[in-house]
Amino acid sequence: MYGMLRSEGEMMKIYISDLTKVNGIQREINLQEKLEEINFNGDNIRFIEPIKLTGIIRDESGIIKLKGELNLVVELNCHRCSKNLEQVINICIDESYTNTEKAPDDFYKFSGNEIDFSPMIFDNILTNIPMKILCSEDCKGLCEVCGCNRNLKDCNCKIQQYDPRFEALLKLRDKEFR
């Protein structure tokens, strides 16, 4: 998962040497990064604008706490008609970082004097992308027969229902005529 978040630089890293020296010290962060398109569960997620991470980072007895917000502007496709949809997604961030091995499962790890926020950002993006992406609740989708967008055109195609009894009849008929 980690490696899937590709960005153009290393902007999502911060140096924390000043934080870990003094307990309780805090710092504002304001990071921006342009991300490449990612594919998740068959959805292509395109980042129209650089993602933004803003907030406060502070040292609480060796645990680095980050509280802030992640702002995304993404383009997704409707699951039914594949129309492009632009969405603004604002995510509340409340995470903890530790450099010790014994830590709760939901803590992120860091080593040395820098923290790379990329894995945390990636997890937050994936958990906040809507499961159901629709241009509207009553999107009619694409016609299974002719492929036209049924929101724009009424093609009157008949969608054939598969009926096993009909299939059996056809087989019988084929035999009789052989």
The gap from C-alpha 114 to its chain's centroid, in whole angstroms, comes to 25
State yes or no: residue 11 binds Zn ion (CB under 5 A): no
- Are 80 and 89 a contacting pair, CB within 8 Å? no
State yes or no: residue 92 binds Zn ion (CB under 5 A): no
Among 157, 168, 169, 170, binds Zn ion (CB under 5 A): 157
Nearer residue to Zn ion within complex by CB, 60 or 86: 86
Among 63, 103, 126, 139, binds Zn ion (CB under 5 A): 139
The single-letter code of the amino acid at 114 is: E
Closest approach of Zn ion to the CB of residue 157, in Å: 3
Among 56, 146, 152, 170, binds Zn ion (CB under 5 A): 146
State yes or no: residue 76 binds Zn ion (CB under 5 A): no
- The backbone torsions φ and ψ at residue 101, rounded to the nearest 5 degrees and listed phi first, read -75, -35
**CB-CB neighbours of 21 under 10 Å:** 10
Segment lying near Zn ion (by CB under 5 A), choices 9-17, 26-34, 80-88, 110-118: 80-88
d(CA 29, CA 121): 14
Please give the sequence-ordered ranges of beta strands (E in DSSP) within 49-166, or none if there are none.
51-60, 63-77, 84-98, 108-109, 114-116
Closest approach of Zn ion to the CB of residue 137, in Å: 10
State yes or no: residue 70 binds Zn ion (CB under 5 A): no
The gap from C-alpha 88 to its chain's centroid, in whole angstroms, comes to 12
Closest approach of Zn ion to the CB of residue 150, in Å: 7
Among 66, 70, 78, 125, binds Zn ion (CB under 5 A): 78
State yes or no: residue 143 binds Zn ion (CB under 5 A): yes
What are the start-end ranges of the H helices in the chain? 17-21, 118-128, 164-176
Summarize as ranges the residues that interact with Zn ion (CB under 5 A): 78, 80-81, 83, 135, 139, 143, 145-146, 155, 157
